Structure 1
Amino acid sequence: MPETRTIERHRQETLLKTGALQHAIFNSANFSCIATDAKGVIQIFNVGAEHMLGYAAADVLNQITPADISDPQEVIARAAALSVELSTPILPGFEALVFKASRGIEDIYELTYIRKDGSRLPAVVSVTALRDAADAIIGYLLIGTDNTARKQVEAERAQLDQALQDRNAELETAKSLAEKANLAKSDFLSSMSHELRTPLNAILGFTQLLESGTPPPTPAQQRNLEQILKAGWYLLELINEILDLALIESGKATLSHEPVSLAEVMLECRAMVDPQAQKRGIAMTYPHFEFPYFVSADRTRVKQVLINLLFNAIKYNKPEGTVTVEYIPSPPDSIRINIRDTGRGLAPEQLAQLFQPFNRLGKEVGAEEGTGIGLVVTKRLVELMGGTIGADSAVGAGSVFWFELSLTTAPVLAMQEVAHAALSLPRVSDGAPRRTVLYVEDNPANLELVEQLIARRPDLRLLSAADGNLGIEFARVYQPAAILMDINLPGISGLEAMKILRADPTTAHIPIIALSANAVPHDIEKALQAGFFDYLTKPIKVPQFMDTLDMALKVPGPAVNKEPA
């Protein structure tokens, strides 16, 4: 008997504990617990359900189903989705909420309850079928947890995603507009460069003719001509700098990266800079190379940077001053080029304004001409080559402008091939007959300038054509030794005319030199790749023009050179 009493006591304790657990579950405010009979009518509505949905248990027990307090549109949508998923018609209503559970399928889904006050409560609902000892369904248990916080996070995330998409769309639109603007700017600059260079070509070309003509100009005329040339070349420099800056800032400037010998580039710069220094009485000091330095850069642009900085050091120096160029290794793998002058120097506030467009420091105390663009272009070029640039200065102590570039190894030079190419250049024999040069040009002033230049050459005659189609016919008939071709021609362009001549076996051998006011680097590169022998920009420089023409005349071709009628 004592053993029986012990067992009964344990049973009573277990029942009490189970009852306590059930009481705790059904009275928890953290989740709703709704139990129905087999038809779906609510039989149990716990404290959590009352708290979450606003109904008292008395309001719903034996009166409604959970479908009656659920979003009707969601119930309809769930019935339709389950009908497709399970391939059986399911009516909207309570059946849609418990159909899976009634088939023994685990079912957890999102559902929006409608509170007593009409507000909405997003919930996650877990449904279980309640069965008796014979496995018959006697009801259903729906346990719900508040899904408001999760829904709020999802809504905020959706808003952020949408805002990000909108922002990306705005950025894409802005990028597209910027690209279109850059293209329009580039086209405008190309057009304006051509329009400005064409009349400037005539001004500088004819002035050079007058300066070097026979009889020579009088001293007064010579001074006037020098002033015209000075102003003209300055205007050309301004056009070039504005065009260069615009191309760099629009991202259209192309630079190569190759081993560049600083010693060789400096020798080339000295040939251009020293005459200017001598005119002003400026002493130039260059470094002695104990061993060659090669930098990874664009050779033409390195030369441009050096010339800009050297000319500035000369221009803004004091009378009888000095300019010193220094090379200083900058560990671990760079070299710094210093250009030191003995000019007025710059105050700290002036140093802070360096490298700004159209800000020419010191203009208020000096008479030197300048655009204020050169240093900006120089800075952009150095940075495009992966380098850095800066300046140090003090009033009365001069200035040091410097830039750094990365060092690289020296290239392997095929000297024998270079020598062989030089020896293989054709040579014009003495006493050769006059050779014909065809100039395809529609501008009378440009044509007259070249006519006068060719007239100085007793070994040449000039034949002209005013448009591309006529130029093609003249080239086929007269077989000139060389062709000068303007790019912007009436009818067909010079580029199209050149391609036609290249495709014709009777004219394919004739070297064609582009002579154009279009100085955009991309267009020049495109023309050279298309087949032009060389590309000269207007205004032409007479020595460069003659040298290029002489090189073209050395190109071998058939011994045919018909006299023009």
Structure 2
Amino acid sequence: MHKLQPQLLNAGRARSTLEARRRKALLKTGALQDAILNSAKFSSIATDEQGVIQVFNIGAQHMLGYAPADVLNCVTPADISDPQEIVERARALSAEFATTIAPGFEALVFKARRGIEDIYELTYVCKDGTRLPAVVSVTALRDLQHDIIGYLLIGTDNRARKRVEAEQERLDQSLRDTNLALQEAKTAADRANLAKSEFLSNMSHELRSPLNAILGFAQLIDSGSPSPTPAQQDSLDQILQAGWYLLELINEILDLALIESGKLSLSPEPMLLDEVLADCQAMIEPQARQSGIRLNFIAAEAPIFVRADRTRVKQVFVNLLSNAIKYNRVGGSVEVRCSARAGGRVRIAFQDTGEGLSAEKLAQLFQPFNRLGQEGGVEEGTGIGLAVSKQLVELMGGVIGVESTEGAGSLFWVELQAAAAPQLVEALPTPTAHASAEALPGVPQRSVLCVEDNPANLTLVARLLARRSDLRLLSARDGRRGVELAHSAQPDVILMDINLPGISGLTALKILLDNPATAHIPVIAMSANAMPRDIAKGLEAGFFRYLTKPIKVKEFMDTLDLALACERDGAGEALLQEIV
């Protein structure tokens, strides 16, 4: 008996401990249940197995405005929900599970009854008629035998998320509208740029065709025999000066339009500045001599290379040199020197001894069509050259600037990126033009076919070739006739306009190149289509050379001689291959 007492005592203590733990767990469970029922953060609605509300917690009361007496034992959650949403949910579930589900409480608990987790959005209709969007989680309540005894619907206020979503949608729509407006503006700008480019291209073509006749015949008379009288020469000089000035204006306007539309193509390469400046000096010296201006090109101590587009660099340098001569004083000078600058740049400076520019005029430089009050002066100018030069330099990654003092002249400078000397490669031999003013004894006359629909331009070519007794002119007024004549007459060289009746010059060229009987004949384009893309397209198509109208007589004759030389060399090679 005495031995059992400690065991009984220990057992009693263990039971007391277990009971205390059980009471504590019950109290905790009760506290949790009270916390759930009294939470104002979310609604807890419990129903019986038929869906009639049995529990309506504080959160549900606060969120929906109903008192327990309004809903307990009398309505289901479906009765305080948006009826249209209930109908739509029943329809969606019916389609998903291939069974008919009636709108009502069944649609709210269909998945939960089958043990499927179900969380969805639902709009409650509050007592005051307002609507409360909520996210509802539905759980089936089961007894110990796993039979359903009711359902628990826990809902959280979804208004904040809806507001965020609505604001995000508003912002997204605003962004879409902005992007659409920007796209429409870009499309309109692209169309405007295209229309402007097409207009300028067409106008360039229309102006160049009559200019070709004006300048062509003027050059023809100027270089003819007998020489013009002094009065005639003065008139010719006026015609040529005005004609070339008009051509310069056309070219500068086209350049400006190409730059503004972003369609100007550049071909940067390492180039020796001394060579480029020497070319510019040769081009500008006649103007300097005529104006009595001394040119002083100071050679650099060592060869200097820059990376830029050679053609465009020459255009910029010649423009700066021309301005330095035009706006210099009588007997003045222009000095050109190159120097290395920080950041791997090279500065090319053009110093003149002109009148200089005021601070007000300096601020207006590089503006298109602004001649700084020189519109009524004796010197011709377009006011575009500096604007084009500035944009060309910047497109090549360089900088252009000016320093000037009134009465002491101006210093224009261009800075370009320095480059390493290019690797030397062995040059391929190029055909040499053979000048032949007269036909050699025993040498048959050679033929030139000119395919041109403009009578004035055709007459100009005829007059030029009439000076050469070694050449015979054939002509055709349209592309098809030109192709036929090329095949039957086998001319030594073909001069081809681009815009022709019937088929274009490009189409005619393709036909000639595709035919072995005419593929060897050099075809020179002579066109008023002078946009860079036109020239590139023509050369890519296979033209031997591409001359733009108005033609320069010397350039035309040199190109013709070069083509004749190439044709003769090519014919000799073909004959040699045939013999072999």
**2:183 equivalent among 165, 172, 175:** 172
**2:362 equivalent among 351, 375, 381:** 351
* CA distance in structure 2 between the aligned counterparts of 1:105 and 1:440, rounded to whole angstroms: 85
Structure 1 residues 365 and 427, CA, compared in 2 at 3 Å: closer, same or farther? closer
* CA distance in structure 2 between the aligned counterparts of 1:54 and 1:320, rounded to whole angstroms: 101
TM-score by length of 1: 0.92
* CA distance in structure 2 between the aligned counterparts of 1:403 and 1:224, rounded to whole angstroms: 38
Residue number in structure 2 paired with 1:563: none
Residue number in structure 1 paired with 2:251: 240
Residue number in structure 1 paired with 2:262: 251
The AA in structure 2 aligned to 1:380 is: Q
* CA distance in structure 1 between the aligned counterparts of 2:281 and 2:254, rounded to whole angstroms: 25
SS in 2 for 1:255: coil
Q: How far 1:343 sits from its partner (Å)?
A: 2.2
* CA distance in structure 1 between the aligned counterparts of 2:435 and 2:208, rounded to whole angstroms: 34
* CA distance in structure 1 between the aligned counterparts of 2:311 and 2:61, rounded to whole angstroms: 84
The AA in structure 2 aligned to 1:203 is: I
How big is each residue's C-alpha offset from its partner over 1:364-401, in whole Å with a ceiling of 9 and x where there is no partner?
68432211111121122222222222223333332222
Residue number in structure 1 paired with 2:137: 126
Structure 1 residues 26 and 545, CA, compared in 2 at 3 Å: closer, same or farther? same
SS in 2 for 1:62: coil
* CA distance in structure 2 between the aligned counterparts of 1:93 and 1:400, rounded to whole angstroms: 90
Indicate whether 1:213 and 2:224 are aligned: yes
Residue number in structure 2 paired with 1:313: 324
Q: How far 1:206 sits from its partner (Å)?
A: 1.4
- Figure out how many residues of one structure are paired with residues of the other and give that number: 557
* CA distance in structure 2 between the aligned counterparts of 1:104 and 1:495, rounded to whole angstroms: 77
Structure 1 residues 473 and 11, CA, compared in 2 at 3 Å: closer, same or farther? closer
Q: How far 1:232 sits from its partner (Å)?
A: 0.9
TM-score by length of 2: 0.89
* CA distance in structure 2 between the aligned counterparts of 1:330 and 1:362, rounded to whole angstroms: 34
**2:411 equivalent among 393, 400, 408:** 400
Q: Please give the residue correspondences for 1:432-443 in structure 2 after superposition, counting only pairs within 5 Å.
A: 432-443=443-454
The AA in structure 1 aligned to 2:493 is: A
Structure 1 residues 483 and 365, CA, compared in 2 at 3 Å: closer, same or farther? closer
Indicate whether 1:194 and 2:194 are aligned: no
Higher alpha-carbon deviation: 392-401 or 146-155: 392-401
**1:541 equivalent among 546, 549, 552:** 552
**1:368 equivalent among 353, 357, 379:** 379
Residue number in structure 2 paired with 1:477: 488
Q: Give the unaligned 5+ runs of structure 2.
A: 1-8, 575-580
Residue number in structure 2 paired with 1:444: 455
Residue number in structure 2 paired with 1:507: 518
**2:239 equivalent among 219, 228, 239:** 228
The AA in structure 1 aligned to 2:109 is: V
Residue number in structure 1 paired with 2:578: none
* CA distance in structure 2 between the aligned counterparts of 1:105 and 1:187, rounded to whole angstroms: 68
* Contact in 2 for aligned 1:283/1:322 (Cα 8 Å): yes
Residue number in structure 1 paired with 2:6: none
How big is each residue's C-alpha offset from its partner over 1:125-166, in whole Å with a ceiling of 9 and x where there is no partner?
122222233332222121111111111111111222222223
Indicate whether 1:181 and 2:181 are aligned: no
How big is each residue's C-alpha offset from its partner over 1:524-548, in whole Å with a ceiling of 9 and x where there is no partner?
1111111211111111111111111
Higher alpha-carbon deviation: 499-508 or 48-57: 499-508
Q: How far 1:40 sits from its partner (Å)?
A: 0.8
Indicate whether 1:486 and 2:497 are aligned: yes
* CA distance in structure 1 between the aligned counterparts of 2:511 and 2:297, rounded to whole angstroms: 50
Structure 1 residues 430 and 226, CA, compared in 2 at 3 Å: closer, same or farther? same
* CA distance in structure 2 between the aligned counterparts of 1:51 and 1:340, rounded to whole angstroms: 87
Structure 1 residues 291 and 78, CA, compared in 2 at 3 Å: closer, same or farther? same
Higher alpha-carbon deviation: 286-295 or 138-147: 286-295
Higher alpha-carbon deviation: 90-99 or 535-544: 90-99
**2:393 equivalent among 360, 375, 382:** 382
Higher alpha-carbon deviation: 526-535 or 3-12: 3-12
Structure 1 residues 476 and 17, CA, compared in 2 at 3 Å: closer, same or farther? closer
Q: How far 1:60 sits from its partner (Å)?
A: 1.0
* Contact in 2 for aligned 1:427/1:554 (Cα 8 Å): no
Structure 1 residues 11 and 500, CA, compared in 2 at 3 Å: closer, same or farther? closer
Identity percentage over the alignment? 65
* CA distance in structure 1 between the aligned counterparts of 2:256 and 2:494, rounded to whole angstroms: 32
* Contact in 2 for aligned 1:104/1:129 (Cα 8 Å): yes
SS in 1 for 2:349: strand
Q: How far 1:513 sits from its partner (Å)?
A: 1.1
The AA in structure 2 aligned to 1:282 is: I
Indicate whether 1:50 and 2:61 are aligned: yes
Residue number in structure 2 paired with 1:466: 477
Residue number in structure 2 paired with 1:300: 311
* Contact in 1 for aligned 2:270/2:420 (Cα 8 Å): yes
Q: Please give the residue correspondences for 1:106-121 in structure 2 after superposition, counting only pairs within 5 Å.
A: 106-121=117-132
Structure 1 residues 6 and 503, CA, compared in 2 at 3 Å: closer, same or farther? closer
Q: How far 1:92 sits from its partner (Å)?
A: 2.4
* Contact in 2 for aligned 1:261/1:292 (Cα 8 Å): yes
Q: How far 1:355 sits from its partner (Å)?
A: 1.9
The AA in structure 2 aligned to 1:54 is: G
Q: How far 1:443 sits from its partner (Å)?
A: 1.6
How big is each residue's C-alpha offset from its partner over 1:423-457, in whole Å with a ceiling of 9 and x where there is no partner?
8x789794333222221222221122122211112
* CA distance in structure 2 between the aligned counterparts of 1:413 and 1:11, rounded to whole angstroms: 98
* CA distance in structure 2 between the aligned counterparts of 1:476 and 1:134, rounded to whole angstroms: 104
* CA distance in structure 2 between the aligned counterparts of 1:452 and 1:15, rounded to whole angstroms: 120
Residue number in structure 1 paired with 2:341: 330
* Contact in 2 for aligned 1:356/1:373 (Cα 8 Å): yes
* Contact in 2 for aligned 1:516/1:537 (Cα 8 Å): yes
Residue number in structure 2 paired with 1:22: 33
Q: Give the unaligned 5+ runs of structure 1.
A: 561-565
Q: How far 1:235 sits from its partner (Å)?
A: 0.6
